[in-house]
Chain A
Amino acid sequence: MSMIASLVRAYERLPDAPPFGFSSEKIGFCIVLNSDGTVAEVIDLRGDDKKRSPRMVLVPQAVKRTVGIAPNFLWDKSAYVLGVTAGDGKRTADEHAKFREAHAEWLSDTDDAGLLALLRFLESWRPEHFVPPIWPEEMRDQNIVFALAEEYRERFLHDRHAARQAWNGIGAAGASAPQICLVTGERTATARLHPSIKGVWGAQSSGASIVSFNLDAFTSYGHEQGDNAPVSEAAVFAYTTALNRFLEKGSGHRIQIGDASTVFWADAEKHMAELAESFFAAMFDTGEAEDTSKTEDKLQTKILATQLESIRLGQKLTDVLPEIDPGVRFHVLGLSPNAARLSVRFYWEDDFGQLTANYQKYLKEMAIEPAPDGWPPLWHYLNDLAVLGKRDNVPPNLAGDWMRSILTGTPYPLTLLTMALTRIRADGKVNALRAAILKSVLIRNLNMEAPVALDPAYKDNKGYVLGRLFAVYEQVQRAALGRNVNATIKDKFYGSASATPQKVFRTLDAGSQNHFSRLRKQNPGWAVNLEKLLASVTDLMDPAGDPIPVSLNSAEQAMFGIGYHHQRSEFFRERDDKNTDPTEADE
C-alpha cells in the first residue's frame, strides 16, 4: 500500500480528528428524535452566560448561500428545519420545503436508524406544531441539530457513521470534473493544491508540501498542478490532517533520526496501537525529551522499560508483550526537507513482529564488549559519525538509509563504514559506539565474523591483530611516559597504522624498545607483563604470511578499529577491576 493510502487509513483512526467537510458552527438547540420520527425532547444547547451564546458544534460544512435557497445537511436554522421564523418570513415555506425535499433526496437509499428517524420526522412535521412548551419561542432563528433519543448524550445525528458517509457522497457529487483518485481508486473531484505539512525538522516553519508541482519540468502531458497526480479532496484532507497530527511535538508519533523527521503509526485498535507506538518510540529514542511528570506515566515508563529490556535481550515479542498481536501492521515514514518540498527518505510497512525481529537483529550485530552505557538510541550513534559530534553535521542521507536498513533487516549503506573510518582517522577516537558500528557493518554487509569481546586467540584477520598490537604499543608508551604526553602514538599514527601499516609499525616497534628500557627502570614487573602481552600478540602473526601488509582494505581497517578498541579497553578494565594501576601510583 502506498504511503498516502496508509496515512488516509491512519486518519480514519485518529481519535478526535476534524472530519472532512465539517466545520464548527453556532448551534442553539437540538431536537431529540425517537426512532419512529416523533420528538422526544428539545434541548437547549446554549451557554448559561447573559447572552445565552450558542455552542460551537462540528457540523457538516455550511453551504455558501447568496440569494438562492440551499439547505445544509442535517442541520440549519429554524426557517429551514421547521419552517418557523421570528420575522415575516416570506420564503419560509419554500425554505422548509427545500430542506425536506433535499433531505429526502440525499437520504433516499439510507437504512440507518437515525437518518430514517429524521426522514419520518420531516414527513410528519407541520409548522403549526410549533407551540410551547415543547417548542420554546427562543428557538426561532437559531441553528438546530438533531440527535437520536438513545444516544444524544454521545453524539448528534450528523456524527453518525452513516451520516458522514452520506455527506462525503454529497460533497463528491457536487464537485466538477471527477477523476480517478490514485489513493482510493474512486472517481471523485480531485484537489488542485495540497495543504502544507508542518513540523518537519529543517523545513520552512510555514510548512512544506509533499505533493506539489511548482515548475513545469515537474508536470506531464500538459496537466496542471493536482491533475498530475489526481488525489481526491477527501484523501488530501485525510492524509495531510493525519500527517500534521503525527508531526506535532509530543504526539507520541515522531522521533528525529538525523535529518529525517520520522513518524510512525500502527494499524490497530486504539490500545494495541498506542502500545506498539510507544514501544517503537522507546526502541529508537530514549525518550528523555518526554516530560514524564505524571506518576501514572512514570509507572507506565517503568513497565515499558522492563519489557523493552527483555526484548533487547532477545526474548520473543509474544512472550514479553502478549497483548500486542505480532501481525499488527506498522508504518514508519521518514521525511526530510528539500527546497520548500518534503522528500520521503524512507517508508517502511510490515508486521510489528517483523519489526521487533529486525530490531533484535540490529542489536545483536551491534553488541560489543565493553558496551556503551545503556542502550544508546540511534541518534547517539549518528552524532558520533558527525563532525564535532553535532546533530547538524550528521551526513544527510546516511541517517535515512541506515534507519531503512535497520527496519528492513537488509544490508547497511556502505557509506556507514567509510564514514566511521573517516571520523576515526580524523579525530582518533575509537569508542564503543564507533566500534559497534564497524562491527555491525562487517557482519551484515560483508558476512564477516567479528568478535564481540576481546578474543586473545583470534588471528583470522590481520587487521584485528594489528589493531591489538597498536593498542599494546600505545599502552607501553603510556606506561613509560605517563599520561601527560602531548601527542601519543595514537594521535600521531592511528590513521596511517590502520591504512598503511607497513609504513608505521617498524617505527612503532623501534619506539617501543625505548619505552620498554625506560619502563624497566621504573617498574620492571609491569614491563615484563607488557612484554609478555606483546609477544602473545605478535605470536599470532604468521611470519611467512606477510604479517604487516602494505595496506589494509576498509574491512580490515574496521577490524583494526575493533581490535584496538578491545585491547585498549582491556587495559582500562584491568585498572578498574584490580585498582592496581602503576601509572596512578607514579603520579
Chain B
Amino acid sequence: MSYGIRLHVWGQHALFTRPELKVERYSFDVITPSAARGVLEAIHWKPAIRWVIDRVHVLKPIRFQTIRRNEVGHKAPAGKIKQAMNRGDLAGLQLLVDEDRQQRASTVLVAPAYVIEAHFELTAKAGPDDTEGKHLDIFNRRAARGQCFNQPCLGTREFVAHFELVAPGARLPERDPDMVNAQHGFGGSPRDLGTMLWDIDHTAPGRPSLFFRASLNEGVMEVPASDSPEVLR
C-alpha cells in the first residue's frame, strides 16, 4: 500500500444510520466505509482521485445512547431550486421548520474513535499533472495542518469529526483497554457486524446500495475492495 494514508478521527457522538432503521435512526456499530470516505473527502478530494477505504481500527468501546432530535420532514425539491435560479427570485423556495417538524429518536454511538486506513486511485479524469505523489503530499500536508474543505462529520452533520494525521511510520494511537474483550472481536471469534453499507453505486442506474458482511476482528474491520466478491451488488 504505497499510497496509503492513516487518519485518526474521533468525536463525541456518531450516527452511521442503518438503512433499515432509517427513520427512527439506529447506528451501525462501526463507521461505514462510505462515511469514512466522506471524512477523507472533506480534507482533500479532486475529480482526479477516488478514495478507497482499506480498514478501520476501532479505538474506543462501542457504546450507544438514545437521543431525540427535531428534524425536518421534507427536502427542498430540486425542481423548485432550478426554477428559482432561472427566475432569479427565491419566492416559494423555503422550508418552514416550525411547520414541518418531525421528532425522531436516534440511537447514536458515544465517544467513538477510529483510525481509517485508506488509499486513493487516480480516475479517468486525472490529467498529466496529476500524480499520486502530488495528491498524497497534498493530503498529508492538509491533514497535518487540520485543513479541510468542510468540517468532516461522523455520519450526520451534527456530529463533528475531529481528525489528526497518523504520520507514515508512526504508531497507531493507543486503544482503549476497555475494548480488549470478546465483545469487540478479541480472543479468536470476530464480532459479526451484520450486513453493512459499503457505498452507493452512483454510476449504476437507480443508484443501488452496495453491501458487505462486516466483522470486527481484534478491533479491526477489514473493508473489501470494490472488485472483490465480498461486495454484494
Q: Does chain A bind chain B? A: yes
Q: Which residues in A have some Cβ–Cβ distance to B below 8 Å?
A: 1-5, 179-180, 182-185, 187, 210-218, 220-223, 227-231, 336, 338-339, 341-347, 350, 397, 400-401, 404, 408, 410, 413
Residue ID in chain A nearest B21 by CB atoms:
A344
Task: Report the contact-size class of chain B (Cβ under 8 Å from the partner).
Answer: 35 or more
Are the CB atoms of A5 and B200 closer together than 8 Å?
no
Contacts A344-B26, A401-B66, A408-B63 given; does A1 touch B194 at CB 8 Å: yes
Chain B residues with Cβ under 8 A from A184's Cβ? 195
Are the CB atoms of B209 and A182 closer together than 8 Å?
yes
Are the CB atoms of B194 and A5 closer together than 8 Å?
yes
Are the CB atoms of A180 and B211 closer together than 8 Å?
yes
Chain B residues with Cβ under 8 A from A3's Cβ? 21, 26
Are the CB atoms of A228 and B207 closer together than 8 Å?
no
Of listed A184, A215, A413, residue having the most chain B CB within 10 A: A215
Contacts A221-B207, A397-B68 given; does A212 touch B23 at CB 8 Å: yes
A558 to chain B, nearest CB (A): 21
0/1 string, B120-153, CB within 8 A of A gives 1: 0000000000000000000000000000000000
Contacts A217-B71, A221-B207, A350-B183 given; does A182 touch B66 at CB 8 Å: no
Are the CB atoms of A339 and B102 closer together than 8 Å?
yes
- Give the complex CA separation of A223 and B201 in angstroms: 13
Are the CB atoms of A5 and B195 closer together than 8 Å?
yes
Are the CB atoms of A180 and B23 closer together than 8 Å?
no
Are the CB atoms of B20 and A217 closer together than 8 Å?
no
A349 to chain B, nearest CB (A): 9
Are the CB atoms of A342 and B66 closer together than 8 Å?
no
Residue ID in chain A nearest B209 by CB atoms:
A230
Chain A residues with Cβ under 8 A from B23's Cβ? 211-214, 218, 341
Contact of B232 among A185, A336, A410, A413 (CB under 8 A): A185
Residue ID in chain B nearest A239 by CB atoms:
B20
Chain B residues with Cβ under 8 A from A220's Cβ? 200
B171 within 8 A of partner (CB):
no
Contacts A180-B233, A211-B20, A347-B26 given; does A223 touch B207 at CB 8 Å: yes
Contacts A180-B209, A223-B207 given; does A397 touch B195 at CB 8 Å: no
0/1 string, B56-74, CB within 8 A of A gives 1: 0000010111111001111
Chain B residues with Cβ under 8 A from A4's Cβ? 20
Contacts A185-B213, A215-B73, A215-B74 given; does A228 touch B194 at CB 8 Å: no
Are the CB atoms of B20 and A216 closer together than 8 Å?
no
Are the CB atoms of A182 and B211 closer together than 8 Å?
yes
Q: Which residues in B have some Cβ–Cβ distance to A below 8 Å?
A: 18-24, 26, 61, 63-68, 71-75, 102-105, 107, 183, 192-195, 197, 200, 206-211, 213, 232-233
A16 to chain B, nearest CB (A): 27
Are the CB atoms of A228 and B22 closer together than 8 Å?
yes
Residue ID in chain A nearest B19 by CB atoms:
A229
Are the CB atoms of B74 and A216 closer together than 8 Å?
yes
Contacts A338-B103, A350-B183 given; does A345 touch B75 at CB 8 Å: no
Chain A residues with Cβ under 8 A from B194's Cβ? 1-2, 5
A248 to chain B, nearest CB (A): 22
- Give the complex CA separation of A140 and B60 in angstroms: 70
- Give the complex CA separation of A301 and B169 in angstroms: 62
Chain A residues with Cβ under 8 A from B232's Cβ? 180, 185, 187
Chain A residues with Cβ under 8 A from B64's Cβ? 346, 404
Are the CB atoms of B103 and A182 closer together than 8 Å?
no
A378 to chain B, nearest CB (A): 17
Residue ID in chain A nearest B105 by CB atoms:
A343
Contact of B21 among A180, A210, A338, A350 (CB under 8 A): A210
Are the CB atoms of B18 and A2 closer together than 8 Å?
yes
B146 to chain A, nearest CB (A): 30
- Give the complex CA separation of A401 and B206 in angstroms: 39
Contacts A183-B20, A341-B24, A344-B24 given; does A217 touch B102 at CB 8 Å: yes
- Pick 18 A–B contacts, CB within 8 A, sort by A: A3-B21, A180-B209, A185-B213, A215-B74, A217-B73, A222-B207, A223-B206, A227-B206, A230-B209, A338-B68, A343-B26, A343-B104, A344-B26, A346-B64, A347-B26, A400-B66, A401-B65, A413-B65
Of listed A185, A218, A230, A350, residue having the most chain B CB within 10 A: A218
A395 to chain B, nearest CB (A): 12
A329 to chain B, nearest CB (A): 10
Chain A residues with Cβ under 8 A from B193's Cβ? 1
- Give the complex CA separation of A70 and B233 in angstroms: 32
Residue ID in chain A nearest B107 by CB atoms:
A344
Contact of A216 among B63, B65, B75 (CB under 8 A): B75
Contact of A229 among B20, B24, B107, B210 (CB under 8 A): B20
B190 to chain A, nearest CB (A): 12
Contacts A339-B103, A345-B66 given; does A182 touch B73 at CB 8 Å: no
B144 to chain A, nearest CB (A): 34
- Give the complex CA separation of A210 and B211 in angstroms: 21
Chain A residues with Cβ under 8 A from B233's Cβ? 180
- Give the complex CA separation of A339 and B19 in angstroms: 19
Chain A residues with Cβ under 8 A from B192's Cβ? 1
Are the CB atoms of A221 and B200 closer together than 8 Å?
yes
Chain A residues with Cβ under 8 A from B210's Cβ? 180
Chain B residues with Cβ under 8 A from A213's Cβ? 22-23
Are the CB atoms of B24 and A228 closer together than 8 Å?
no
Chain A residues with Cβ under 8 A from B213's Cβ? 185
Contacts A182-B209, A217-B74 given; does A338 touch B105 at CB 8 Å: yes
Are the CB atoms of B20 and A185 closer together than 8 Å?
no
Residue ID in chain B nearest A342 by CB atoms:
B24
Chain B residues with Cβ under 8 A from A344's Cβ? 21, 24, 26, 107
Of listed B20, B21, B68, B192, residue having the most chain A CB within 10 A: B20
- Give the complex CA separation of A233 and B232 in angstroms: 18
- Give the complex CA separation of A228 and B193 in angstroms: 20
Chain B residues with Cβ under 8 A from A180's Cβ? 208-211, 232-233
A237 to chain B, nearest CB (A): 15
Are the CB atoms of A229 and B22 closer together than 8 Å?
yes
Chain A residues with Cβ under 8 A from B75's Cβ? 216-217
Contacts A228-B19, A228-B22 given; does A410 touch B73 at CB 8 Å: no
A316 to chain B, nearest CB (A): 18
- Give the complex CA separation of A227 and B208 in angstroms: 8
For the complex with contacts A185-B195, A213-B22, 13 further pairs of A-B residues with Cβ separation under 8 Å are: A4-B20, A182-B19, A184-B195, A210-B21, A216-B73, A216-B74, A221-B200, A223-B207, A229-B22, A342-B24, A343-B24, A344-B21, A345-B107
Residue ID in chain B nearest A336 by CB atoms:
B105
Of listed B26, B61, B105, residue having the most chain A CB within 10 A: B105
Are the CB atoms of B20 and A231 closer together than 8 Å?
yes
Chain A residues with Cβ under 8 A from B102's Cβ? 215, 217, 339
The 7 residue pairs across chains A and B that have the minimum distance between CB atoms:
A343-B24, A2-B194, A343-B105, A229-B19, A229-B20, A215-B73, A221-B207
- Give the complex CA separation of A231 and B232 in angstroms: 13
Are the CB atoms of B66 and A2 closer together than 8 Å?
no
Are the CB atoms of B24 and A397 closer together than 8 Å?
no
- Give the complex CA separation of A336 and B105 in angstroms: 10
Chain B residues with Cβ under 8 A from A215's Cβ? 73-74, 102
Residue ID in chain B nearest A222 by CB atoms:
B207
- Give the complex CA separation of A180 and B232 in angstroms: 7
